[in-house]
């Protein structure tokens, strides 16, 4: 049994002075959401053995803030991989297969649509998962999901089915972190 946690970077600023998407930093709301998600993960989820993360600024800021908020539950084995920046589901599977090693659980911090597609590609669309239906509508910034795979080795992740055992959005923890409502 393998467990994969998927943390989408928190809300980022729309523009970056450098002009590069890779350099976008978190907004104030994003920083609050990353901290809330880190506290949630630290309290509610067994520690992860390894972290795989996009090196993009917003992903790294999300991860650093979340790790601080996790406290002792924070994993120490951390790998940044450029292939996770705006990766497809297939690319994410490839990175996990190559870098998962002997870890039983991995926290992956990256971007959409790749993370959403990982859930949709691995969790059967048979009407039995209400959480999958939510992901199919939207996997918002800062969202955290846990997939369980009945595999012995990460190299088998490609094409494997999974159970979506939890989905937490920032607004589930703190309603002020939900979508802006026009007035």
For the chain, the structural domain boundaries read: 2-177
Which pTM does this prediction carry? 0.93
Burial of 88 (0-12, 13-18, 19+ CB in 10 A): middle
Q: At the topology level of CATH, where does 2-177 sit? A: Rossmann fold (3.40.50)
Q: Confidence band (pLDDT; 50, 70, 90) for 181?
A: very low
Given a cut of 60, is residue 182 above it in pLDDT?
Answer: no
The answer to whether the peptide bond before residue 113 is cis (omega within 30 degrees of 0) is yes
First-residue to last-residue Cα distance in the chain? 47
Sequence ranges of the binding site for substrate: 58
CA angle 79, 136, 73 (to 5 degrees): 35
Cα 70 to Cα 40, 117, 136, distances in angstroms: 8, 26, 28
What is the tens place of the pLDDT at every residue in 18-66?
668 898 999 999 999 999 999 999 999 888 999 999 999 999 999 999 9
Sequence ranges of the binding site: 58
């Amino acid at each position: 049994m393998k467990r994969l946690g998927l943390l989408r970077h928190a809300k980022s600023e729309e523009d970056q002075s450098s002009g590069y998407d890779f350099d976008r930093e978190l907004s104030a709301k994003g920083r609050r959401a990353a901290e809330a998600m880190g506290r949630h993960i630290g309290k509610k989820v067994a520690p992860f053995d390894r972290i795989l993360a996009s090196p993009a600024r917003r992903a790294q800021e999300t991860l650093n803030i979340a790790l601080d908020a996790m406290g002792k539950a924070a994993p120490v084995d951390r790998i940044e991989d450029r292939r996770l920046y705006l990766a497809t589901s297939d690319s994410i599977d490839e990175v996990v297969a190559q870098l998962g090693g002997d870890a039983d659980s991995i926290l992956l911090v990256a971007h959409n649509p790749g993370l959403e597609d990982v859930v949709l590609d691995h969790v059967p669309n048979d009407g039995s998962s209400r959480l999958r239906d939510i992901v199919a509508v939207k996997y918002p910034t800062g969202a955290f999901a846990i997939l369980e795979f009945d595999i012995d080795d990460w190299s088998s992740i490609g094409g494997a089915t999974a159970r979506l055992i939890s989905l937490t959005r920032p607004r589930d923890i703190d309603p002020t972190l939900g979508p802006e409502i026009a007035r």
